[in-house]
Amino acid sequence: MTTLGNMPRNDTTKLTVEELSEKQAKAEHARLAAEIAEHDRRYYQDDAPAVSDAEYDALRRRYGAIEARFPRLRSAESLTRHVGAAPSARFAKVRHAVPMLSLDNAFAEDDVRDFVGRIRRFLRLADDEEVVFSAEPKIDGLSMSLRYEDGALVTGATRGDGSVGEDVTANVKTLEDIPKRLKGKTIPAVCEVRGEVYMTKQAFLALNKRQAESGGQVFANPRNAAAGSLRQKDPSITASRPLGFFAYAWGEMGALPADTQSGMIEWFASCGFKTNPLTKICRSVEGLLAFHHEIELQRGSLDYDIDGVVYKVDRLDWQERLGFVSRSPRWAIAHKFPAEKATTVVRDIEIQVGRTGTLTPVAKLEPVTVGGVVVQNATLHNEEEIKRLDVRQGDIVTIQRAGDVIPQVLGVVVEKRPRDARPYKFPTKCPCPLHSDVVRETIAGGAEGARTHCTGEFACPYQALGHLEHFVSRRAFDIDGLGEKQIAFFYEQEWIEEPADIFTLRERNGKLRLKDGGKKTRIEDIEGFGEISVRNLFNAIEARREIPLERFIYALGIRHVGETTAVALARGYGSWTAFHDACGKLAAGDDETRQEMDALDQIGDTVIDSLRDYFAEAHNRRRVERLAAQVRILDAEKPRAESAIAGKTVVFTGTLEKMTRDEAKASAERLGAKVAGSVSRKTDYVVAGPGAGSKLGKAKEFGVKILSEDEWLKLAR
Ligand code: IVH
């Protein structure tokens, strides 16, 4: 079983629950609590689980079994009384009017028989009395509570710890499957509709492809992708991600519009919700098991992930009588599917380089069938994951098709390791023909750990096309008629291999040779181009021979230098010569240049390191110089000379009372001042409001002029 690396382990882990003494049970119970809490945190807050659902369930089961044998261990803090992890601090909190609970799990057929037997006994049913169940797939997404008041959607909240969730209203409003207003005449004043937000497998694969291309976070499975997409601070990001929603439960509900579970589902559909089309009425244990089997067979062909089926007592009056035991209802159970696992041999560990230069290790496997699909590769994510698993060439590994899509390596069968297997050494050079150095960086948010990338940039053939696409994109050089399709074609023909080639294309036209034919060609004569479009293309290229400095910097595609950063750098240095000189000095290790850059507003260590790495590579420098020779780079907007603050560097600290920090910054920049984030000897003014702290101290130390907000306002005109 995989465990988190830093969890202490001792021998009690090897004993069965029956074998544990009370003292050992106490220690094991505490250890499991810590381990489960850590997994919950990773799952609910980081959207990045470290173990499979099956492994997590096994930990939970062992924890529950220990409490069943030693009930004294079941304190108020027991995890069996709580669900999930506390909500993440990023979103406002919502207290659920009715707690969002979880489901008990059944794994074996006997668990299902026991479940039905318990219900019959609890309700004291006569032998001939039938219990009708509503059976439905268990969607592997994230649960959502939608509160409607007078028919209008007012709140969307995640489950969180079951009592308090996260307010993601603005985000759920962007989902097509979630009605903003309920349809129908008899809508209770308050309706809390609950269900599952999910991402289809197809959408997940497409999203990951886009993310990988743009250097964004790549998700492990559709559930994480759905969670990550929903828990975005910017709703437009959620809107751009295709998320679906199935309604299957409810919280606070004014008056119940039906008296059965299946009736409620029909009512949800009449209100405008999507409900799962595979939902079915079952009248016996055999009926439930047949449903489980039937859905398991369909599992692979469904376009969304499911991890089992759920059986719910159909009569709501019986649901009411059955009630809840700690965290789950007595009237429902999740019948899980066994995880689709297999063992096989790691033939090799290969490094793949994505378009943004990220190095991803991939286990090349002896082909093996998992859940009906032949698997030959499994992702190892990054260097940390290889270390965590200690996977080596020749190892026998357990793999799983996580969320049915990306095969993952769960662990190594260490007992069967070949004697000559050596720990894997992550490469320090990119496998590209240039063998450029690689750099490790930790991604902010940390969900995916550290990523390693090639410093070859434009020169690395794996990255070249991605960079060229970025170069001509709308916010960079924005060259009409040179979209992804055309640039890919020119790149393939080796006519445009670096940005400077775009500007020499016209003079080379007519002398270009097609790769297969080898004949000299004019672009106009190639199918799909034509005289007019080529003329327009060359005009569009000519129109970009003059380019503002910030666009030029942005177009270089330097990691971490997005548009805003490019503007800050352009304003800070004013001209290409000044910026280029500074980058050269930075790459040579000049400390003063580093400090000068650090004093610029919005520029910090990540950007500076990235600029240093980029300009330290000779092939990057050469390409940039070849490009700069082809274009005229316009200086950044000149500061207005008539203002007293033009050209001055200012730092704001403390609370400003007459303007917001953003306003202050914008007006200072409009007048040509440079707004810095920290005080250095080069700072001209520190504007200090109430509560100013260490920056004020620094200003005094360096003898920098300190102004009140009013004094500043007088000066800044
Ligand atoms: S009913 C009182 N029905 O499974 C419990 N849950 O393990 C109400 N889930 O938190 C839940 N599909 O996120 C229910 N058809 C379904 C479901 C389903 C997925 C999730 C849900 C819940 C978790 C419990």
Q: How far is the CA of 608 from the centre of ligand 1 (A)?
A: 47
One domain for residues 252 and 161: yes
Q: Measure the CA–CA gap between 122 and 167, rounded to whole angstroms.
A: 37
Q: How far is the CA of 161 from the centre of ligand 1 (A)?
A: 14
C-beta of 310 in contact with ligand 1 (< 6 A): yes
Query: How many structural domains are present in the chain?
Result: 6
The answer to whether residue 117 sits within a structural domain is: yes
The pLDDT-based confidence of 47 (bands split at 50, 70, 90) is low
Q: What pLDDT digit, counting tens, does each position of 394-422 carry?
A: 999 999 875 545 688 999 999 999 999 99
Where is the domain boundary, 605, 634, 663?
A: 634
The pLDDT-based confidence of 95 (bands split at 50, 70, 90) is very high
Angle at the Cα of 461 from the Cα atoms of 457 and 462, rounded to 5 degrees: 80
| Closest ligand 1 atom to Cα of 334 | 7
Strands 674-675 and 649-653: parallel
Q: What is the pLDDT of residue 11?
A: 65
Structural domain including 534 reads 457-544
One domain for residues 158 and 305: yes
Where is the domain boundary, 455, 470, 490?
A: 455
Answer yes or no: is pLDDT of 89 > 70.
Answer: no
Closest CA to 552 of 607, 630, 486: 630
The residue with greater pLDDT, 382 or 316, is 316
Q: Measure the CA–CA gap between 225 and 238, rounded to whole angstroms.
A: 11
The answer to whether residue 5 sits within a structural domain is: no
One domain for residues 151 and 212: yes
CATH number at 656 reads 3.40.50.10190
Helix (H) or strand (E) holding 142: strand 142-149
The answer to whether residue 658 sits within a structural domain is: yes
One domain for residues 427 and 523: no
Q: What pLDDT digit, counting tens, does each position of 548-559 carry?
A: 999 999 999 998
Q: What is the pLDDT of residue 181?
A: 96
| Closest ligand 1 atom to Cα of 276 | 15
The answer to whether residue 7 sits within a structural domain is: no
One domain for residues 234 and 267: yes
The answer to whether residue 516 sits within a structural domain is: yes
Computed on alpha carbons and rounded to an integer, the radius of gyration of the chain in Å comes to 31
CATH number at 506 reads 1.10.150.20
One domain for residues 107 and 244: yes
Distances from the Cα of 14 to the Cα of 11, 25, 62, 67, angstroms:
6, 12, 12, 17
The answer to whether residue 641 sits within a structural domain is: no
**How many CB atoms neighbour CB 404 within 10 A?**
23
Closest CA to 410 of 469, 339, 497: 339
One domain for residues 401 and 527: no
Q: What is the pTM of this model?
A: 0.52
One domain for residues 284 and 252: yes
One domain for residues 328 and 349: no
Whose C-alpha lies nearest to ligand 1, atom 6? 138
The residue with greater pLDDT, 559 or 180, is 180
Q: What pLDDT digit, counting tens, does each position of 443-491 carry?
A: 544 344 578 888 887 778 888 888 898 999 888 999 989 988 899 899 9
Selection from 215-224, 460-469, 571-580 with the highest mean pLDDT = 571-580
The pLDDT-based confidence of 76 (bands split at 50, 70, 90) is low
CB contact at 8 A, 312 and 343: no
Residue 353's Cα: distance from chain center in Å? 19
Q: What pLDDT digit, counting tens, does each position of 515-524 carry?
A: 877 778 899 9
Q: Given ligand 1 and candidates 103, 198, 265, which is best to mutate, with the most ligand atoms within 8 Å of its CB?
A: 103
- AA letter at 582: A
Answer yes or no: is pLDDT of 695 > 60.
Answer: yes
Where is the domain boundary, 336, 367, 396?
A: 336
* Lowest mean pLDDT segment, chosen from 76-80, 86-90, 361-365, 567-571: 86-90
CB contact at 8 A, 160 and 199: no
* Lowest mean pLDDT segment, chosen from 45-54, 135-144, 233-242, 261-270: 45-54
| Closest ligand 1 atom to Cα of 101 | 2
The answer to whether residue 685 sits within a structural domain is: yes
**Percent of the residues in the chain that have a pLDDT greater than 70, as a whole number:** 91
One domain for residues 198 and 100: yes
Distances from the Cα of 180 to the Cα of 175, 229, 240, angstroms:
9, 19, 18
* Residue 172: strand, helix, or coil: helix
Q: Measure the CA–CA gap between 620 and 456, rounded to whole angstroms.
A: 7
The answer to whether residue 17 sits within a structural domain is: yes
Q: Given ligand 1 and candidates 60, 142, 143, which is best to mutate, with the most ligand atoms within 8 Å of its CB?
A: 143
Active site residues: 138
**How many CB atoms neighbour CB 518 within 10 A?**
8
One domain for residues 326 and 183: yes
Alpha helix segments (H runs only) across 174-300: 201-214, 222-230, 235-239, 261-271, 285-298
CATH number at 397 reads 2.40.50.140
Q: What is the pLDDT of residue 446?
A: 39
CB contact at 8 A, 35 and 3: yes
The pLDDT-based confidence of 149 (bands split at 50, 70, 90) is very high
The string of DSSP letters for 481-497 reads T--HHHHHHHHHTTS-S
* 173-177: average pLDDT: 94
Neighbour-count burial for 202-234, b at 16+ CB within 10 Å, e otherwise: ebbeebbeebbeebebbbbbbbbbbbbbbbbee
- Kindly report the average pLDDT of the chain as a whole number: 87
One domain for residues 607 and 682: no
